[in-house]
Structure 1
Amino acid sequence: MKRRRGIGRSSALAVVLGLGGSLLAAPAVADGARAPQVRWGSCPEDVVAEAAPTVLQCATVPVPVDYADPGSDRIDLMISRLASTNPDKRRGTLMLNPGGPGGSGLALPALLVARGVPASVLDSYDLIGMDTRGIGHSAPVTCGFTPDGPYLANIPPYAVDDAAVTRQTKVAKQVAEQCARHDRDGRLRHLTTANTARDLDRIRAALGEEKTSYLGYSYGTALGAAYASMFPERSDRIVLDSNIGDTHLDRDGLRRYALGMEQSFPDFAQWAAARHGSYGLGRTPAQVRRTYLTLAARLDKAPVAGFDGSLMRMYTFGNLFKKTQYPKLAQQLQALAGGDGTAARRPLSQNATADEVPSSFDNSLSVFLAVTCNDVKWPKDVDTYRNGVAKDRARYPLFGAATANITPCAFWPHTPAEPPVPVNDDGPRNVLLVQNLRDAPTPHQGGKLLRQKFANRSRLVSVDDGGHGAYVLGDNPCALNTTTRYLVEGTMPEKDMLCRAAEHRRPMSRGR
């Protein structure tokens, strides 16, 4: 049992990257004269350790649980700061979000420093990280998830047939009921993208800024799009990297994960084919794909060391996020193909055992569910999911029968208290969209969809690269330079542009 738990947790963590009144009725932001003042101090020990050697400051900002009820309880949101040390060049604040929903962002300023964010950006902005409502140090919520429970990832398991959809339906219903039982303070229903965008504006006001710039990755693009739409006059320079396509994640958005895997897998297949002598997965990309599909079908019938076809597919999806994970994925597939249980578990050895799973496992999954289910209505008819699974199993063989499968949102105890935030194209041209052409969770289509919605306010920078995250987190000089130029100088590309693949050439020999 413990073996299965450990493997399942690794698959889940690989993919966890996380209700007020109507938009018109809810107050947009606290009166500036009454905005709380931020008092900076030391960060919690876990944030200090994660950010090291960079030293951050932390503070809290109070926000209402329910923006539609001014007298509702308050919660404290924790924010972090890496302050600009160049007053002459400082422009303002750059709020950051790593995605999710359910991802902690307190150490994100330090991560960007470690990944080489240009000094000109550090001079221009105070980098503001945060745990958004419900996450980590900001009034965390829980559904009581454990590694030995049935809910291990934000994506449903791959459904090999109709019976698998039926089994997942029972699990989804149980999970929704479990979240309702653990929601003893009634906060879960107030976790929405709209409320989090309102929180951003409270933080802006507390920092004493008339406007704020923003850099968001993955789901952070939905939050940034919502903020720019709700508060166009208070949004400065907005960068949305790895877009999900709207201000919320809905069923169509989740199903696009399968499209992203189809577009991303060829990069891995080409890489693995060039190393056939080491991993034996195929001499051509087509052979590697056939090996993957054959192995998945075999594991559906006869799992190896706790790995069934569903876990193998989920594990593969998570390891397509970065090219640096290709060797670990190839090692895993090679071991599974050989039926070697000991070797199959070896790539997971760097992860904690099931008994050492951090509390963020439960917290991240809980926030993802709450925000995703609260933001928009999900279909409740099981046949809708059954039909979607059959369709996507055929058009996206690698992963479609997982992302189209039924989720707890079909049985969520709360109906959305307001419609999803509509994209507001009436505002300054200040939204720069950055999107890799091949990205497993956020395929290029997400960038194109948001570009259509922000028709007048945005420009799209498409990057001929794979992986999740382009600016600073990627390795394309054009994407880095274009985005940095916008953040520092305000220079928006005149039109949509393509950043061609980076060329890595060996230095020329100086002699013989």
Structure 2
Amino acid sequence: MTTHRTTSLLLALATATALTAAAVPSASAAAADGPRSAAPRLDWRPCAKPGGPDAQECADLPVPLDYADPDGPRISVAVSRVRSDRPAARRGTLVLLPGGPGGSGVQRLAQKGTALQKELAGAYDLVAFDPRGVGGSTTATCGLAPEDRYLTALRSWPGPDGDISGNLARSRRVAEACAANGGAVLRSFTTANEVRDLDRLRAALGERKLSAWGVSYGTYVGAVYAQTHPGRTDRWVLDSSGDPDPARVARGWLANMGKGADDRFPDFAAWAADPARDGEGLRLAGRPEEVEPLVLSLAASLDRAPRPTTTPGVPLTGNGLRQAVQNALYGDSAFPGLARLLLALRDPRATPVLPPELAQPLRDQDASQMAAVICNDVAWPLLPAADQQRAVDEDRSRHPLTAGMPVNVTPCSFWKTAPAVPPVRITDRGPSDILMVQSRKDPSTPHSASLKMREALGGRAVMVTVEQGGHGMYLGNGNACGDAAVTRFLTTGTRPARDTDCPN
């Protein structure tokens, strides 16, 4: 995922062929959302993770492979919980919805559980799950070659001169492998099924309603659940949201990343040119406006001549550097590592050290799940090659840091199976119980895109905009003001009276 940061980086695509989307599930989907059988039993066992809460427990939730056939084959979803350590203060269950597609909820609970216990003062049992295809849940594989499972391949970076012929060939190859090898399990990896699995988990926990904290892709899962199960939501937090346009879904999320990088990069540039970096040996330039030309120049030089690295057989290419920059923009804590990499590239005697997420291919199961969710959710257009090339060329010119990657072709354009149901349209119909928290300078889900989610939710939501840059605000990249707003809502139900800002 894989690491949490890597999988949360792998947002991808959707299509203009599904121009209409229901505000509620189709009749068949709605019927499938509530299996007639009794709620499954969860047999909990200790499963504390290094650095996580000592009381973390795990269980396996059986779910239908196909909710249209609720008595048919079953697969397993890994779930985890940390029970409230103050039973008298407990008011319900808070579910953590991870990013991705491909993020592990079980890992996220281990990473954030202790901080949440302290912040929420026992108000909730904390619960998470690995979406089908992830971690301890039932997985599937496409049988992808290792070279197709590197992060720089899964993200469709064009060739050094912007040529997309390699992307077209790889996208077709991946789609054909998934069609040949993934089977019914891979076809079941959808947002709609993740939402159904979430409601089955609610029933297994014996809860009438759930509260939730969704981050990145998890905000979309959370928004769809709130739309399709409005009577089962309690206090709902959407942290770092993208545009929920049902005609595009992940294709729109990916396309917005060029704007996101442009919004966020000035934070790194200011940091890297600050005289305070002199004492750390990390200063890259005398002025912030010199940093982006430096990065672009180094990437261009790597396009011409990739540099050997400390990872045998894996050189650093221009696209590798571009991906490293994109990754580092997710949080200020990654700035020093990016600066060290750039400094090594300026030194002809140095051997660069690759960031871990670029040093080896992802597992076949992880790469397959990421592709499957975005391609199964909605149909993607297959443009003529010349039109696709033109779109990449224009985006490269408009957003040099992302070099055309956000609008490039992906395996979804060659996907062999049509979406089972159209994506849900997010609307303002339902209880007003949603708090959005969003960075104004988010490299993945830019503020301008999050406003589309805010507009769709209307009076159901209030939005807190945090001036701190990064992706994923609560208890991570945000600030005290934003964290306090989320904690206050989750513990007391109180939101700001209107949309508000949190300055640094």
Q: TM-score, normalised by structure 1?
A: 0.87
1:71 aligns with 2:71: yes
What one-letter code is carried by the residue in structure 2 that aligns with 1:156?
Answer: S
Alignment of 1:435-474 (within 5 A): 435-474=438-477
Contact 1:189 1:370 in 2 (8 A): yes
* Correspondences of 1:163-242 after superposition (within 5 Å): 164-183=163-182, 185-242=183-240
1:32-87, Cα deviation, whole Å (9 max, x unpaired): 771123221233xxxx3345453311112211111122333111211101001322
**2:365 is the counterpart of 1:371:** no
Is the CA contact (8 Å cut-off) linking 2:77 and 2:129 kept in structure 1? yes
Change (3 A) 1:105 1:200: same
Match of 1:34 in 2: 38
Aligned to 1:505: none
In structure 2, relative to structure 1, the CA distance for the partners of 1:494 and 1:22 (3 Å cut) is closer
Is this contact kept in 2: 1:222–1:247, CA < 8 A? no
Q: Secondary structure at the match of 2:102?
A: coil
SS at match of 1:466: coil
CA RMSD of aligned residues (A): 2.5
Deviates more, 1:221-230 or 1:71-80: 71-80
5+ residue gaps, structure 2, are 13-23, 309-314
**1:475 Cα shift?**
4.0
Q: Partners of 1:11 and 1:463 in 2: how far apart?
A: 20
Aligned residues: 477
Structure 1 match to 2:341: 332
Give the fraction of aligned pairs with identical amino acids, expressed as a percent: 38
User: Which of 283, 291, 306 is the aligned partner of 2:286?
Assistant: 283
CA distance in 2, matches of 1:270, 1:407: 34
* 1:88 shift after superposition: 2.2
1:433-485 superposed Cα distances (whole Å, 9 cap, x missing partner) = 11011111121123211000001201111000111111111241111110011
**What's the offset of the Cα at 1:402?**
1.2
Quick one: distance in 2 between partners of 1:353 and 1:400? 21
Q: CA deviation at 1:361?
A: 3.1
- Displacement, 1:139? 0.4
Query: In 1, Cα distance between the equivalents of 2:474 and 2:378?
Result: 29
1:484 aligned to which of 474, 484, 487: 487
Structure 2 Cα separation of the partners of residues 368 and 149 of structure 1: 13
8 Å Cα contact 2:139-2:185 kept in structure 1: no
Residues 145/54 of structure 1: CA separation in 2 closer, same or farther (3 Å cut): farther
Aligned partners of 2:472 and 2:478 also within 8 Å: no
Greater shift after overlay, 393-402 or 233-242? 393-402
Structure 1 pair 404/247, CA: closer, same or farther in 2 (3 Å)? closer
C-alpha change, 1:478 and 1:424, in structure 2 (3 Å) is same
1:138-167 per-residue CA deviation (whole Å, 9 max, x = no partner) reads 1012223454446534421144445x2112
Change (3 A) 1:111 1:309: same
2:28 is paired with a residue of what secondary structure? coil
Work out which of the residue numbers 306, 328, 333 in structure 2 matches 1:319: 328
In structure 2, what is the equivalent of residue 94 of structure 1?
A: 94
Q: 1:150 to 1:200 in 2, by over 3 A?
A: closer
User: Which amino acid in 1 is paired with 2:378?
Assistant: V
Matches of 1:339 and 1:366, distance apart in 2: 38
Which residue of the partner structure matches residue 241 of structure 2? 243
Structure-1 separation of matches of 2:284 and 2:358: 28
TM superposition score normalised by structure 2: 0.88
